[in-house]
Each structure stands twice: as structure tokens, then as C-alpha cells.
Amino acid sequence: MPGLVGFYTFGEGRENWDASHFIHYGLSALQGRGQESISLAAIGPEGTLHTLGGKGDVEEFFSNKTSVPKGFLGIGQTSSYTNDHLVHVKAPYELVLALDGKTDLHENRGEASKLFARQLSQLLHSEKEPLKATSMLINKIGGGYSFVALTHKQELISGRNPLGVKPLETGSVGFDIAAVASETCALDVMGVDHTGPVETGEVIMFTPEDIRGNAPAGEAGNFCSYEYVYLARLDSKVNTLPVARVRNSIGRELAKAHSAKADVVVGVPETALPIANGYSQESGLPQEFGFVRTGENVRAALEPAQKERLVGVQLKLNPVKSAVEGKDVVLVDDSVVRGNTLRNTVLNLKRNGAHQVHVRIGSPALVSPCPYGVEIPPRDELISSYLNEKELASHVGADSVSFMTVEELQHAIGLPRQNLCMRCFENGGVTR
């Protein structure tokens, strides 16, 4: 689930800009989309493409400022895979590619990205019009993906395939700067004004002379519902919808359909807090800040190894005893993956004096891996693929557990059902 950023400058004096600074800020905002590797490419005044990739998070990468590629144009990527870096194709048409999602070219995401980049290179070389070549490619190659590419001819090409699963947003600063990013929060942090999403099936190309685009697919797409539940940052917009508002709506819908007799509502930081706020507003129960985070902000569900996941769970959720002691608690979370976080959280709440803990989840049960590259584990690691709500409550030590239905989530998001991808919530699983 990479986070993508592209930075482009125009006009006289453009060589004085340092793209790496802006990409640094943008990728910092997208760190939640991947914290295992980072890579950057830039074109400097001499016109050469320079690339660098490494393991670790954004700040680690940019701490060694002497090795970071400098230039007035650039793209960057942060990823949740250790060896997932920008793809550099040197011939026949030199380019560097960042891709979010999965194509149908290969089962392995990394190999699929390389094949996509090579085919793009071939088409850019053989076709006279780069925009036409890229449009041909995204209509030919299936899957669900968005991408940003930088070429040796100082072209920045951004696109989103017709399915529209993966987000991509554009922004500008007057006539001097253009940018693209996976989420609007990255544009905000870069100091760039948001101008709108890359539409489904749309390609937008930036050149030293102009900005041009093809005709979008004209269809609303099949947007990832998990972006609204968990993936996107709270201060972003996804497909023009403010994530904060949607998560509040999810909480309200959850309270209407899955009420619980309790004294307080507590949300799991950070993504579930606005859902808990909506639950509190709709139910009339007070919301308490029930946890303090220790250590850096890690997404335990996306950690690659069991040890790191368990450490992440322990670090990020330390209960506030005075908020829950002697009380019946509604514990609101955004989703349940393996159940490690939930079990640990319920146990700690009860250790700190909570009388009853009723778990309410702001999404349907995850029962299938994502076909488009979101790091949802295999089915046999998804606890809800083999335990129903009652069994899950017993397993995690809760007094009750209740998930939203697909219909309730769709209503809370506010988009037509045919325009939302919910395959991770629907393919198989136990009967409820």
C-alpha cells in the first residue's frame, strides 16, 4: 500500500527549486501508508535521473541529506514492503515509476510494477504522443492501481486506471508548482493547494511547456471502502469526501444499529477516535480518552512480523485507568485483523477496572485478502474468517462484539454500492 508523491516546477529559475524538500514533507504525511521502505528520484540541472532507495521510515531516509537525490523535479514512494522501491527503466525510454496497487500482469506486486514500467517505456518510445501511449496502457492492463512516473525528457506522468480503486490527488501553487500525491494531506503538508482528484481512467502529464490530460473514463469507479475506514489520514479527502466527516458518520451509523448499555465510549487511537466520537454523539454516551500512546506511531496490523506486531500493540495502547475504572465501556475500533490488538486492549481495560467491555467495530468483518495490494493478511490469519461475533467475543475476553454490515458502511460513506469495493468484507467467511 505505497504512498506516492510527485513534484514538478515550471518557468524561469525552476532549477533553483529542491524537489527533495517537498517530497520529504509529502512522504512524511503518507507514512501511515507504509513504514518499511522509501525511495526517491529527481532530475537536476544536468538533466540526469538520480534515484535512491532504502529501508526504514521517512525521517531515517532523509537524515543523511548528502545522499538524497537533488533536483527541481522528483517523485517519491513510501511502502510497507522492505524491498519495494521505485522502478527505474533505462531503455528504450528512460523513466522511474512509483505504483500503488496491483495490476493483473503478475501475482507479485514488485514484479507487476516492473512489467508495467517496461511496457510504459516501450509505448512511450514507439508512440509519438506520450499521453496517448499512457492512456492505451491503463486501458489495456487491468487491476486496481494509480501511478506516478518521471521520464528523462522531464515529463511527469500521473494516472489512475479505470477501476479507480487507488486514490491519487493533484495540486498546484500558482503557475510555478504542480504536485500529485496519494492523499490530500500530503499536498497540504507540502504547502500545495488541492485542485482535485485524478479521475478514474485519467492520465495527467506535466511537461516544461504545459499540463495536459486525456478524457477520463466517465464512470464513478469502484473506490476502496477501507480507505475511509482505516487507510487514509484523518485530514485527507478521498474521492472528494472528507475522511473525518465519513468516519464520524460511520460512528453514528454504528451507534444506531449496534447500541450497547454502557457508561462511556472509548476509541482506539488514532483512526477509530472520530468513529468513537460519532458513536458518542449519536448514542448520548460520553466519550473518554481511554488510552495514551507510548513510542512511535506504528500501525500494528501492517507490521510484517509477529514480534513487531505484538510490540506495536503493547507500545501504542496504555489505558487511562480513571476513564474506565468501575464502568461499562463501549470500545470502538475501526477494524479487526488478526485480533492481537483487540485481545490485548480488552484485557488491559479490564485490568484497569472496566466492568464490562462491549466492542463495536466501524466496518464489516475482514474475511478476505485484498486483490489490489492493501496489506490485509491471508484468509487463515484473519480471525473473522473462522470466528463469528459470539466466538470472537469469547476469544478476546469482551462481553459482546458487533460489526457493521456492508449495507451500513455503504450508507455511512454515502456513495452508491456499485461504486465501492468491499471485496475484503464479502468473499467468504463464517455465517453471522
What secondary structure letter does DSSP report for 76?
E
Q: Which of 188, 221, 254 is the last residue of a domain?
A: 221
What pLDDT does residue 429 have? 43
Its domain, for residue 302, covers 225-426
Same domain, yes or no: 171 and 217 = yes
Say yes or no: 213 and 344 in one domain: no
The per-residue pLDDT for 315 is 58
For residues 106 and 214, membership in a common domain is answered with yes
CATH of the domain at 186: 3.60.20.10
Within-domain flag for 232: yes
265 and 134 within one domain: no
Q: Is 331 helix (H, G, I), strand (E, B) or coil?
A: strand
Q: 167 and 264 share a domain?
A: no
Regions in the chain scoring below 50 on pLDDT: 307, 428-432
Q: What is the pLDDT, as a whole number, of residue 432?
A: 42
- pTM of the predicted protein model: 0.92
- What gap in Å lies between CA 381 and CA 368, rounded to an integer? 10
Q: What is the pLDDT of residues 49-68, one digit of tens each?
A: 999 998 888 988 888 767 88
Which pLDDT score is estimated for 431? Answer: 41
Q: Tell whether 192 and 310 lie within a shared domain.
A: no
- Say which residues have a Cβ less than 8 Å from residue 380's Cβ, sequence separation at least 6: none
Would you state the pLDDT for residue 304? 54
Show Cβ contacts of residue 102 under 8 Å, excluding neighbours closer than 6 positions: 109, 112, 143, 144, 145, 371, 372, 373
The pLDDT of residue 430: 47
pLDDT, averaged across the chain: 92
**Are the CB atoms for 402 and 360 separated by under 8 Å?**
yes
Q: How many domains does the chain have?
A: 2
Q: What is the pLDDT of residue 12?
A: 87
Q: For residue 134, give the C-alpha cell.
A: 499512457
Report yes or no on 431 lying in a domain: no
pLDDT tens for residues 415-429?
999 999 999 999 744
Q: Phi first, then psi: give them for residue 332, nearest 5 degrees.
A: -105, 125
